[in-house]
Amino acid sequence: MIKSITTRIFGLVTILFLLPAFPFSTSLAQTALIQNIPKRAVLSLNGKWNYIIDPYETGYYDYRTKPFDESLKQQDRAFYTNTKPKDKTERIEYDFDKSPTLLVPRDWNSQEEKLLYYEGTIWYKKSFDFKTSAPGNRIFLYFGAVNYRADVYLNGKKLGFHKGGFTPFNFEVTGLVREKDNFLIIKVNNTRKADEVPTLNTDWWNYGGITRDVIVAETPATFISDYFVQLKKGSEDVLSGYVKLNGPARSGIEVVLSIAELKTHITVRTDTSGMAAIELAVRDLHRWSPQDPFLYDVKISTTVDEVTDRIGFRTIVTSGPEILLNGRPIFLRGISIHEENAIRGGRAYSREDAQMLLSWAKELGCNFVRLAHYPHNENMARLADEMGILVWEENPVYWTIQWSNPETFETAANQLKEMISRDKNRASVIVWSMANETPVTPERMTFLKNLADTARHIDNVRLISAALEQHGIPGNELVRTIEDPFAQYVDLVSFNEYIGWYDGLPDKCAKIEWKFDFNKPVFISEFGADALGGMHGDSLTRWSEEYQQYMYQETLKMIGKIPNLRGCSPWILVDFRSPRRVLPGIQDGWNRKGLISETGNRKKAFYTLKQFYETISKKY
């Protein structure tokens, strides 16, 4: 009985999530994500913010753990009110303006030694003045990402909250923001929880904080809030998608989408919800590709608003074992990347960070990057558009998520929708990955299938995948296969394997036989071995560069035998921080599978993979 009720509730939650416009969200009062909102920035709130470390959440609960915002008489004790003593007798036990500062955007772990391992609440406060440029305009606060939960207060009023450490969110603050002395206070908590996404256990550092840009954006009363423009599924010369207006005068409005270099435009009229479909036949379309990453200036306008974006157009489909980019078979010469600037320390966030990471990938001979294990900052996809690098973006459904918890599904689906919403116009992005290395159970299957259905419902012109796990067949562990039922739902059958590192020594690679009976492209989303940069020994000395190089040599020979293999993204471009990696003198809190060390030195295996990609690139 209980189960059937649970199933029915879960089923209801699932159905609701298939409605992309359904305003489900894990916040109180977020505005639907505004497309390309950085273009509308009128004030950056990046820079120094005062902060208060609050492990007992003294600024939110009274000593009986009752939230202050439920007992108005004690509101001045709540940190988000930014209360100052009225006179010398008054007792206020916090003061942001006398507190130290942290930089935004940046994680807090890499800014202060005492915060390196900190997990809990930190309050941030930023004061600012703001003058609107025209009466009647609307004002929004935009956050590129905050890990993990953000409770947002402006001038003492709660705007809402957001959960998910790697996707953007925005709140409308029209009528609340004032010309002078605004104070924006964010309660940030990065505590890992079993029912969250990701869950308790990850092999990466739990960087907390306001890790990406914070801006104030301004729009007309009725503005272009969203648009999606890509080559129509199955078409070579029709652009399709939609534009959406937000505001009181959104219904029945003419919207013009124009592409000057194609000497073309289309005029559409919105429906009562402010939505209008687009379908535009084009001639002589200059396709986007890694060899020729051509981007068009697309302009969308109404009589009162205009937004431009640089958008590339290409097709990406699978046909049998082939991945076809603009109709031509490709091999994805990839590398996996965490969002970290290991040299500076901490989360990567800037265009310069993206430039460093993607230039290293290019140097390796890559035409593809797997942005693991969560949505990276927007600079990565936008720079990949410009540099001609194909991209795999991933939802942080990692390892042992709570598969039967409807709220966990809602959190995962919300982050997936925010990831797709932000990057759906990026030609470089060709794969949405639902998960990484998740255990095969019926509940996990339902969870992932519903995520895949949600993604396809929103965007049917990209490939769906997930990093699955391979295993030996019964009775012969040297014959490897994938029997994961989710493989039938993906376009790209991807899997991680660590033969030669976690599974035997490198010479085991030569004994392995691969057997897949999918008529789909196969992609190895991870293989790798640790090496401490600069540590040398013979090819069987664990942790040496020579061992890592030997493992790559043997793996690259092995993968040539994998039927339908059409790409790989070895683990990983750069050493990265992980609390799970504690071997003194070797790991010291770092996962050493990088082909580049945390000091930027290329290891021997870097050149082994580079050589392999040079050979492969001659065949495709």
Binding interface with ligand GCU (CB under 6 A): 203, 373, 436-437, 496, 526, 571, 591, 593
Q: Shortest approach of ligand GCU to residue 617 CB, angstroms?
A: 26
Residue 417's closest CA among 387, 377, 458? 458
Q: Shortest approach of ligand GCU to residue 374 CB, angstroms?
A: 11
The structure tokens listed for 56 are 């007992």
Q: Which amino acid is at 271?
A: D
Q: Is the Cβ of residue 35 or residue 569 nearer to ligand GCU in the bound state? A: 569
C-beta of residue 558 within 8 angstroms of C-beta of residue 612: no
Q: Is the Cβ of residue 25 or residue 578 nearer to ligand GCU in the bound state? A: 578
Residue 571's closest CA among 508, 514, 498, 510? 498
Q: Shortest approach of ligand GCU to residue 592 CB, angstroms?
A: 9
Q: Is the Cβ of residue 161 or residue 571 nearer to ligand GCU in the bound state? A: 571
- Backbone φ/ψ region at 504: left (φ over 0), alpha (ψ -120 to 50), beta: left
Q: At CB < 8 A and 24+ separation, what contacts does 361-365 make? A: 361/335, 361/337, 361/389, 361/573, 362/387, 362/389, 363/610, 364/335, 364/573, 364/595, 364/606, 364/609, 364/610, 364/613, 365/333, 365/609, 365/610, 365/613, 365/614, 365/617
Say whether the peptide bond before residue 162 is cis (omega within 30 degrees of 0).
no
Q: Which residue is nearest to ligand GCU (CB)?
A: 203
CA 111, chain centre distance (Å): 22
C-beta of residue 329 within 8 angstroms of C-beta of residue 323: yes
Q: Shortest approach of ligand GCU to residue 494 CB, angstroms?
A: 11
Q: Is the Cβ of residue 385 or residue 437 nearer to ligand GCU in the bound state? A: 437
Q: Is the Cβ of residue 66 or residue 580 nearer to ligand GCU in the bound state? A: 580
Q: Shortest approach of ligand GCU to residue 189 CB, angstroms?
A: 23
C-beta of residue 196 within 8 angstroms of C-beta of residue 162: no
Q: Is the Cβ of residue 301 or residue 481 nearer to ligand GCU in the bound state? A: 481
* Cβ count within 10 A of residue 134: 8
Q: Shortest approach of ligand GCU to residue 533 CB, angstroms?
A: 16
CA contacts within 13 A on the Cβ side of 24: 22
Q: Shortest approach of ligand GCU to residue 571 CB, angstroms?
A: 6
Q: Is the Cβ of residue 203 or residue 339 nearer to ligand GCU in the bound state? A: 203
Q: Is the Cβ of residue 203 or residue 309 nearer to ligand GCU in the bound state? A: 203
Q: Shortest approach of ligand GCU to residue 613 CB, angstroms?
A: 21
Q: Which amino acid is at 76?
A: D
